Structure 1
Amino acid sequence: MERYRNELDFALLVKQLLALAFVPQQDIIDLFEHLLENPAYRDIDVICDYMEDNFVGRLRRARGPPRFAIQLWSQFSRLIYNLPHSNNAIEGWYNAFNNVVSFVHLTTNKLARKLQQEQHSTQLPRHQLELGTTTGKKKKTYICINEALHTMVTDYNNRDPIIYLGDIARFFKH
């Protein structure tokens, strides 16, 4: 962890592996293999093995299935179509709702009342969405990051893939 924080070149190697999530699904395995041709990746072989087992699939005679299918974690098409690439909104709703209904002795009637209140509180934003108006504002920082990522992924086919991975990797903070 210390090396990751203190050595920018080392951190970039790790971040380039993470940046594979922003590559078209059909290119991920080839780019992963291309990255591993760089001798510098021998320094992080434990991380590469982890990526291979969990996200790319272990290479034996043929590449086996990974623990997590590529289509589950790939973000490329989500960015192309301006879809959310996290579930933060869902987690936020769940935490807020859980705080509202976290009574010690929650009765069915209390839960039903809370569900009705929740339904009423979501009707206005739902109608706003149906009309095409926005219901909430994102922080300017996240808007800028999303716009920059969208610009990069839409230009993917015109870029050198390794330079592209490096540019995406620079968006990740320590």
Structure 2
Amino acid sequence: MRSCQINVKILTGNSSSLLFKLPCQQPTFQCPDFEDAVLRAVTAVFGRHINHQGCFYHLTQASWRQIQQLGLVPLYKNDDDFRVFCGMMDGLAFLPVPDLTNGIHLLRTLCPDDPPEAAELLDYFDSTYISGRLRQQNPAQNQAVRLVLRRSPPMFPPAIWNVHDATVNGDARTNNMCEGWNNNFFNLVGHAHPSIWRVIEWCQKEEATVRTIIQQDAVGNPPAKRTQQRHVQLQERLQNLCRDLTTGQKTIAEYLCGVGWNIRLNHQY
């Protein structure tokens, strides 16, 4: 709760004078990292009409951190089957939302019995992103004491992280364009703690570059987007898999296996 309050203060404090000078003062879409405090703060400031579309890359990063916390890294690196299983788990993001329940049930049948931490990994994904957690409900006054459990909503419901429609439509699944700008600017500046004068100098150079790009776009000559061939091929493979699932050429198991292979082949870990 404290993190949410801090983010609300940032969005409504001194920085808001700059924020509300932007051309789009009433955004309808954001692509955040998976930080519950940020999601709640943005909703509190801009309203419930905001469409939150989580970054798929950060979804896989959250899964990877859980693999590390559970001590499953050696198994992940040395067991191809378990690595693909982890890819299938993240691949649930590519399933149509109505198929998610069948997808998680399928993965429970495929989950290794040993080590037991593998089941904990799947439980984490299910409770955080799909089914939510079971919580004990306190009995009402003058009611016999009994154990009553209710299922709370997941912290991040499927509408936030599901990328099936984005993949089919060729839309972005990540906020990597923002991450890419951050990395490029860091490389330009040269180190993590530059002087204020060096930052100003490189901000001015970056502004000049962006103004040139805007002018090119204004006259109908936008710079060509540089897309790595492997990303183009990955997008084609994922769209083919989505089509095969829709037409019934692949079962959910075959689909998740194919997506899982592609996800893990595309990552460095």
Q: Indicate the TM-score class for this superposition, using the shorter chain for normalisation.
A: 0.7 to 0.9
Greater mean deviation of Cα atoms: 159-168 or 59-68: 59-68
Mapped contact 2:217–2:223 kept (Cα < 8 A) = no
RMSD: 3.1
Higher relative contact order (CA 8 A, sep 6+): 1
Give the TM-score normalised by the residue count of structure 2. Answer: 0.53
Residue 15 and residue 99 in structure 1: after superposition, are their counterparts in 2 closer, same or farther (change >3 A)? closer
Q: Greater helix share, 1 or 2? A: 1
Q: 1:148 aligns with which of 237, 240, 253?
A: 237
Match of 2:255 among 154, 164, 171: 164
Measure, in 1, the Cα distance between the counterparts of 2:229 and 2:178: 20
Q: 1:94 to 1:51 in 2, by over 3 A?
A: same
- Matched with 1:46 is 120
Match for residue 77 of structure 1 among 143, 165, 168: 165
Letter in 2 for 1:35: L
Give distance in 1, aligned partners of 2:103 and 2:176: 29
Distance, in Å, in 2 between the alignment partners of 1:41 and 1:16 is 13
Which runs of no fewer than 5 residues in structure 2 stay unpaired? 1-72, 135-148
Look up the SS of the partner of 2:234 in the other structure.
helix
Q: How much has 1:125 moved relative to structure 2?
A: 5.9
TM-score (norm: length of structure 1): 0.78
SS at match of 2:231: helix
The CA deviation string for residues 115-156 of structure 1, in whole angstroms up to 9 with x for no partner, is 74254033046448x77x772121111111111111111222
**How is 1:59-70 mapped onto 2 (pairs within 5 angstroms)?**
60=134, 63-70=151-158
Q: Are 2:107 and 1:19 aligned?
A: no
User: Size of the alignment, in residue pairs?
Assistant: 171
Same amino acid, percent of matched pairs: 19
Unaligned runs of 5+ in 1: none
Point out the structure with the larger strand share.
2
